[in-house]
Every structure is written in C-alpha cells, then in structure tokens.
Amino acid sequence: MDKFDYDLFVIGAGSGGVRASRIAASLGARVAVAEAYRPGGTCVIRGCVPKKLMVYAAHFHEDFEDARGYGWTVPEANFSWPVLMAAKNREIARLEGIYEKLLANAGVTLMRGRATLADAHTVEIDGKRITAKNILIATGGWPAKPAIPGAELGITSNEAFELTDLPKRVLMVGGGYIAVEFAGIFHGLGAEVTLSYRGEEILRGFDDDVRKHLRGELEAKGIKVLLGHQVAAIERNGPGLRVRCAKGAPDLTVDAVMFATGRIPNTANLGLQQAGVKLDDGGAVVVDAFSRTSVENIYAVGDVTDRVQLTPVAIREGNAVAQTLFGARPVSVTHNNIPSAVFSQPPIGTVGDTEAQALAKYGQVEVYQSTFRPMKHTLSGRGEKSYMKLLVEPNTQKVVGVHMVGGDAPEIIQGIGIAVVAGLTKQQFDETVGIHPTAAEEFVTMKEKVLRQA
C-alpha cells in the first residue's frame, strides 16, 4: 500500500500544469490535477488563443481596404461582435475538451474545484483531503489593476473576452504586451482607441528602435498614444465613463477603460505559507533552476513563479519537473534567448539581446537595420512600414539579437530564433540564400552596418 494517494498532485490545469501531469503520468506516476475554473488555463481560455483569434478578426478591416488596390470591389463590410464572440467561445470550448481528453487518455485524474495546501503533503479540495508525495503549483497569474478610485469600473483582459458589445471608445491603460495587442484589436474592429502609458515609450524591455517603430505605426493607424500619462480616477458618466488624468492632463470620456497593467501571481489563500513555501515580495513562488520551491517536495511552474510569463516557457518548466521527479535525470530549463512575439498590428517578433542589452554585455555591437515598405503595400497603397534589426557581437561575429516589426514577424522570428540559439554568425546568415520575394530574405542580405559603442 502506498503511503500517499498520489505521486504528484498538480494545482492548476493550465499550460504548465497539464504538461507536467501528462508527462509524469506517461512516466508511470499516479497523478491528479485540480482546476478551479476551466482546463486549458489562461492561454487557452482567456489569453493567447482567443486573443489571436481576435487579432485575425480585427485585421480583416485592413484586408478589405487593401484588396481594392488589387482590383477587388469590396462592398461595405459590417462586423458583428456577438458573432465573433460566439465563434471564439465554440473554439475555446473545443480546445478545453481536447485538454480534458488528453488528461484522461494519459490516465491523469482531473478534479474540479479549488485546491489548497493543508501541509507539504496534503491538499484540500471541496472539503476532501488528499495526500501526495509531490505537489506542483501551477496556478498562473491574474490581471492587476492600479489602486485608483473607480478602478472597479475598468475591465481587464479577463472581461475583454466576455464583453457583450464592442465599446465605441476605449481607453487602454498600460504599455506592455496586452495593452498594444488589445489596442490593435479594438481599433481594428472599429473602436476609437486611446492608449495611456506612464513611461516615455511603450513596450519597456523591448529594443528601443522596435518600440519607437511600433508606436509610430499605431499612431499612423489612428490609435492615440499618450506617453508620460497617468490615469488618476474613473467615474461613471451616464452610460460611459469619465477618466480623470494626473498632472493636469485633460479628462477623457470613454465607454470602456481596460487595464493591461501587468499580471500578479495567483498565490493568495492557497495555503502556501502553512506548507512553508517561500514567496517573493511580489507574491511569486520562489523556485530554483529545477522549479523546486523552498519545500523539498513542492514545485512551481509558469506565471505563478513570475520568471518569464510565456506559455511555451511554462510548458517546458512543467515537462522539466515531470522529468526531474519521474524520469531518468533532473532537467532544468534555461531562460536565455527565448523568442517572443507581440501580436500587435503590425506584429513584433524578437529573439536575443536588445541593442541596449548587447551594449551592456559586450561594450560594442554591430547594428544592421532596414526599414521598408512591404511588397504587399505597393499596390494596396497602405503606408505601413516594416522594420528589421540584426545585432552582431563584433569579436565572435555571432548574431546576438534579431528584431522585427512587420507582417509575419512572429512566424519569421520563430525560424531565425533557431539560428540565434545555435549561436550562428553573420557570415552563416549571409551564406544562406534568400527566398525571393519575401520580407524575411532581408535577414540574410543585410550589408550595411553601424558600430555602436557603450
């Protein structure tokens, strides 16, 4: 008779938790996973997946306009928010079902309900106590709102996926991934969008040229970007909202305020303190390179650890924990050179160092860059420009960073990411024959460089 009910109990059936559960079960472990909301987690239910569907929906606006330059007569197009929401909801339900099936087929027990820790080996769910040799915390994160009067009148990405109507005027607060992605979604679907960002330039942490280029493109499309701007309070104003702004900036009148002001780890009221699990000042679970917490048999992966808040990273961390516990040897995850994308319009793809990071690391960097009108827009007449940047470490000639703003940037950078992770040199990029005519070929034909010094 085993001392514990399960070898692994996972709290949270999102990207990281599901991967860990399935791999652990495939390695022979007895696994249960608890989910308080819907299997699939943020990414599938109210994050990456529905967001990308909405980006597609929004982009049709420009596609119809662009088609005219190619000889199409496009009658006036109309958009229905309820139709999009219903289609999106069906797809999310389908994916949720797939997640459930994957767990069942792997032999993982799915428990519906909110699980909390009673001690380092005991979980409580719906008044039942279950014991496990190992526990994995994979509870994700939750949108944060700033503590300003009337914050409760604003929505977050959670509610944006459930709105019954498209708001006519939207104020987006924040300048990160979610803010620029949803600014593009609402704008493309026909709303008047203003983005309020407290800093000097949107997308802090991205390459400075990328940030500037994207902001210019958002503005050119008609999104109003307010920099150095802060929302001080929100009040009801008839059916809409009045937004009071700091530092004498004029009030704004909108139909919806959406906060995209970061996400906080879901660690409250989980019983982590009782079990002795250490949290950092921001409430994230502190883990080592193997995702092990301060308690020997308790692990944590994904957004709840606030390392890199990206689905594929959580999936890797989940896999690594399962391998470490039940596989042949411990597996850790490196968090270097992680390619990522912002599904803004136009989108961003990026891998490796920004110019500022490269200068800080190497003292100098060779910069190759190009700004051009995509071929598609020669006939469409659209003014949108693409931007590409390649950063090379002068001594080794290794390509240490690649950045792009423009159509298909995420698809292109996924491929280029392999070259950067492999540590390939500029010469090896140059030896690769371009595919013509594409935008991506620019990355293997860049000739003019500028040497920048720290």
Under the rule (CB under 6 A), what is the footprint of ligand NDP? 146, 173-179, 181, 197-199, 204, 260-263, 309-310, 340-343
Sign for the pseudo-dihedral over CA of 152, 153, 156, 161: positive
Q: Quote the radius of gyration of the chain (alpha carbons, Å).
A: 24
Has 335 been annotated as catalytic? no
Question: How far apart are CB 202 and ligand NDP at their closest, in Å?
Answer: 7
- The smaller minimum CB distance to ligand NDP, of residues 175 and 352, is found at 175
Whole-number Å distance between alpha carbons of 145 and 142: 10
Question: How far apart are CB 312 and ligand NDP at their closest, in Å?
Answer: 9
- The smaller minimum CB distance to ligand NDP, of residues 306 and 366, is found at 306
Question: How far apart are CB 149 and ligand NDP at their closest, in Å?
Answer: 13
Which residue number places its CB atom closest to ligand NDP?
176
Per the CB < 8 A criterion, the answer to whether 187 and 55 are in contact is no
- The smaller minimum CB distance to ligand NDP, of residues 115 and 175, is found at 175
- The smaller minimum CB distance to ligand NDP, of residues 9 and 186, is found at 186
Q: What angle do CA 68, 219, 371 make, to 5 degrees?
A: 75
- The smaller minimum CB distance to ligand NDP, of residues 23 and 413, is found at 413
Whole-number Å distance between alpha carbons of 20 and 26: 10
| CA dist 438 → 347, 370, 376 (Å) | 16, 14, 10
Residue written as tokens 């009658």?
75
Q: Which of 61, 213, 229, 436 is catalytic?
A: 436
Question: How far apart are CB 284 and ligand NDP at their closest, in Å?
Answer: 13
Per the CB < 8 A criterion, the answer to whether 360 and 336 are in contact is no
- The smaller minimum CB distance to ligand NDP, of residues 177 and 368, is found at 177
Question: How far apart are CB 156 and ligand NDP at their closest, in Å?
Answer: 8
Question: How far apart are CB 263 and ligand NDP at their closest, in Å?
Answer: 4
> Half-sphere exposure (CA, 13 Å, Cβ side) for 357?
15
- The smaller minimum CB distance to ligand NDP, of residues 17 and 50, is found at 50
Angle formed by the axes of helices 208-221 and 177-188, to 10°?
20
- The smaller minimum CB distance to ligand NDP, of residues 409 and 420, is found at 409
Whole-number Å distance between alpha carbons of 346 and 172: 18
Question: How far apart are CB 238 and ligand NDP at their closest, in Å?
Answer: 26
Question: How far apart are CB 303 and ligand NDP at their closest, in Å?
Answer: 7
Residue numbers annotated as active site: 436
